[in-house]
Chains A and B, each alone.
Chain A
């Protein structure tokens, strides 16, 4: 009796195993198509958020089938990596929305690809996570005030798009201490210069001091708010970081009765910020690059979100017509709809609008900076749309 029981039990268990494995196979077949992955994913059952990586997607070799562009179109939203905590570039607002210069470029890409600038899922990333997120495909594009450098570009799995903001490290000090906007690094001799620890800014300033043949006392703190506290209290004679950051701090934190000056006019480092995306997917690279170029060309041609529709209807010149989808097939060839860039300009705006909207409130102006158009003596220059 007992023996028969064991065998019966084991037989039931085994047949049950087979049945279940068969059913399991079923499920996995479905997971082969990326679009339904999320519903049937072989993820652990504790998977909290919707995972976006597709089954068996080797992160490094992303070129297959439709690539990122097709994935984004199928998904219906753009996963855009931002900081979520970078003044004027990507801020998380009290209601949970994300705004800023970088966030607007995410919206511009969504407008180009999906025709809807709100179809963006912002993924807030730390500085440490950001590149892994691009390499594994967690984000389709990374626009997180990231400096393009040679080593990052050659690093496995990433490519850089065109620069959207030319930043550079500068120094801020008090006018009362004898500094003015024409000061140079050499004038800092003997000063206490503060910055945050463990970043390239630390290295840049000591290199610049060596080059100028001066001695400075470099003091570093864990984060930039503490650096500023020490500057305000007078413990630091000067502070240094990227120019965009200094201007924002000056606008918001300048003590009454003091005048803070930012110098030198030519920054001591080059920090070109721009979008980053997965390597070897030139179709997607074209989409991101030309979305950026479209905003720059629109700025040059005077196309704004207000007049974009009129301009598309009656283009003042052939290039505007081509850019806004009136003539030719250049957007369609890229895999976008013909009016993709019209959507970008109408929904998000041209470069100047994006810049003024986000960087204006912290006191950054385009005039005279590297971010002016090439006709105004700046560096912003887009290839022609033809």
Chain B
């Protein structure tokens, strides 16, 4: 799925809605024979290299194909356990919640693509090539895969006297694969026909919209659920039924069809909004939606918290109102234009108060709800920033409004997260499989990215105290292996917490990942900061910008643009490092494939198939991320300017 979208995105750099695509002039393509001679056999050494490489690639492909299509493989193990791999032991009765989650993500994705995507479409030339390449790949696979085995009526593999399997003859095997011959030849034929039918010029100018390609190919995948016999794996009244050679269960194909419709529908919605004047405010809302989505999905939709409403009325709501109104009044005063240095002092005072609450907690002087302490932190942060928002009445009102919204979100999520879940699931970490991998990645990046930028700025700061603190942090975290940090946060941190304070394993894991990732991100961003030339700083100073303005408007945008390649590398690294959760007791993709499925009686010891599938899942997601980053780099002109 992501792979296809990635491929389609490749050639697209411009907007197919607002602007006409600006196409680079293409070099006239050589005839195939000429191209091969020029690129593959243009000398003795190169010819040898070509032959050798093709030979090695064929051997590797043959090995992989024989492995995948071997009669010994039990692909029903990962197929039957697809649900376990994706969501671990999420209860069957509550599975609608998972679909709501997927639907929500489909809405966000579709609308975002509709609003932001800038696609030039794929040229007909490329499509012809793809079709021919795909056809050739299919034909090659048919020839390279070893002949199948003879089976008896019950599907058991027949063996000879030495209990070796009996393989079919090569010609029988080839004729068995007739359908695939036809499919492969059809792709090549279609490509060639289109190639000849379109003239040289039109081949380049005719472009198929990328949206059509992406949603079309996704649609084909969804359609195939209804037609192709992938195997039927269903839960009926808690009884698990697995039948191979049937179309997938209705409970699977119906929701996926619905999800596809939602995705396409919200894409067109996004396109419509894009044409209106409200586009920019909808973009803001979408950004907020993406930011909040991990929290809403994880703690509200998937956990279904049992909120104690009497407690909400008696404590939570009054507490929130007290904070919102009291804090609002403080911020209103602090953003008064004439307050000057006194405002900064008061801001620092608020920070001291906030820190004091935590000191008191660790010393056990007086008890207090954790969210009250966190509210003080939030108030202190806004208090420090207040002087930047002083000015017009309306601006101050907006500033206080931001505080209201932030405080409301903080209090709401604090209440929700501390309410017990009503959905029963195995393991303390609440969920597992791909879900936990994605949530840990998303939350880690959300926390570590701002922290990393702050650390990078601190390390390049001219104030020694910030520089020393940042450098110490970065160097000490980078000097410790990630697994050590994870062990520390999951096993040792709870011992340091004061009586009555408790941290869930999941939160501890995310904290560990975030602090680790931030140190590396900081170094990546610092690389970008160092690439900014002196002149940029001087120009900003000449314009009379203050140093925060210079940093946020001149330096950081350029630095972040430069550091996109290493930042994406860090994102991919974080995503893959989540497999370490398996070692500290979580049920992530790796542990499910490696330990849980091989421990099922019917799939005892079946491990390689699961691991191959898990590896493929990691690859697809990682590839999608790097494709996206390549696109981003091209759009922002990294490496060109």
Contact = CB atoms under 8 A, between A and B. Distances in A.
Given A5-B339, A48-B429, A225 B89 contact: no
A286 to B, nearest CB: 27
Nearest to B413: A45
Nearest to B356: A17
Interface in A27-46: 27-28, 30-31, 36, 38-46
Contact of B326 (A12, A38, A55): A12
B623 interface: no
A27 B326 CA distance: 19
A7 to B, nearest CB: 9
Given A36-B311, A88-B601, A124-B426, A56 B499 contact: yes
Contact of A48 (B235, B307, B322, B504): B504
Interface size class, chain B: 35 or more
A44 B362 CA distance: 13
Contact of A255 (B163, B587, B594, B595): B163
A28 B91 contact: no
B267 interface: no
B367 A24 contact: yes
A330 interface: no
B208 to A, nearest CB: 40
Given A48-B504, A48-B507, A21 B366 contact: yes
Interface string B310-353: 01001100110011001101100110101110110110011001
Interface stretch (A154-162, A245-253, A264-272, A290-298): A245-253
Interface string A1-36: 111011011101101110111011111101100001
Interface stretch (A95-103, A201-209, A213-221, A309-317): A95-103
A122 B420 CA distance: 16
Interface string B507-536: 100110000000000000000000000000
Contacts of A362: 601, 604
Interface in B555-597: 585, 587, 591, 594-596
Nearest to B361: A42
B353 A44 contact: no
A236 interface: no
A28 B368 contact: yes
Given A21-B372, A84-B587, A362-B601, A44 B329 contact: no
Given A39-B311, A94-B84, A24 B504 contact: no
B637 interface: no
Contacts of B119: none
B89 A249 contact: no
A93 interface: yes
B601 A30 contact: no
A361 B601 contact: yes
Contact of A44 (B81, B92, B503, B605): B503
A86 B600 CA distance: 8
A257 B604 contact: no
B494 to A, nearest CB: 9
A194 interface: no
Contact of B367 (A25, A86, A138): A25
B390 to A, nearest CB: 12
A38 B595 CA distance: 32
A167 B93 CA distance: 36
Interface size class, chain A: 35 or more
Contacts of B505: 48-49
B599 A123 contact: no
B368 A96 contact: no
B62 interface: no
A113 B343 CA distance: 61
A38 B418 contact: yes
A138 B428 contact: yes
A92 interface: yes
B562 to A, nearest CB: 33
Name the residue in B307, B327, B424, B591 with the highest tally of chain A Cβ atoms < 10 Å from its Cβ.
Answer: B424
A31 B306 CA distance: 16
A92 B333 contact: no
Contacts of B155: none
Interface in A77-128: 77, 83-88, 91-98, 121-126, 128
Dominant secondary structure at the A interface = mixed
A30 B316 CA distance: 13
A14 B511 CA distance: 31
Contact of A9 (B334, B595, B596): B334
A223 B605 CA distance: 11
A55 B500 contact: yes
Contact of A13 (B350, B413, B591): B350
Contacts of A123: 426-428
B83 interface: yes
Contacts of B88: 92, 96
Contacts of A223: 594
A70 interface: no
A12 B368 contact: no
A84 B308 CA distance: 32
Nearest to B319: A23
B339 A2 contact: yes
Contacts of A211: none
B127 interface: no
Nearest to B433: A96
A121 B427 CA distance: 8
B417 A47 contact: yes
A121 B422 CA distance: 11
A16 B367 contact: no
A92 B600 contact: yes
B502 interface: yes
Contact of A19 (B322, B429, B507): B322
A255 to B, nearest CB: 7
Interface string B601-622: 1001101000000000000000
Interface string A361-379: 1100000000000000000
A40 B353 contact: no
Contacts of A98: 89, 426
A128 B162 CA distance: 45
B369 interface: yes
A9 to B, nearest CB: 5
B83 A95 contact: yes
Contacts of B591: 85
B544 to A, nearest CB: 25
Contacts of A8: 333
Nearest to B594: A223
Contacts of A361: 601
B540 interface: no
Contacts of A252: 601, 604-605
A47 B502 contact: yes
B187 interface: no
A333 interface: no
A183 interface: no
Nearest to A29: B367
B375 interface: yes
8 contacts: A17-B376, A28-B369, A31-B500, A49-B428, A56-B499, A56-B500, A92-B426, A248-B601
The 6 closest A-B pairs by CB, nearest first: A24-B368, A96-B89, A48-B506, A257-B163, A46-B507, A50-B420
Given A2-B340, A124-B587, 4 more contacts: A20-B323, A40-B311, A84-B427, A94-B84
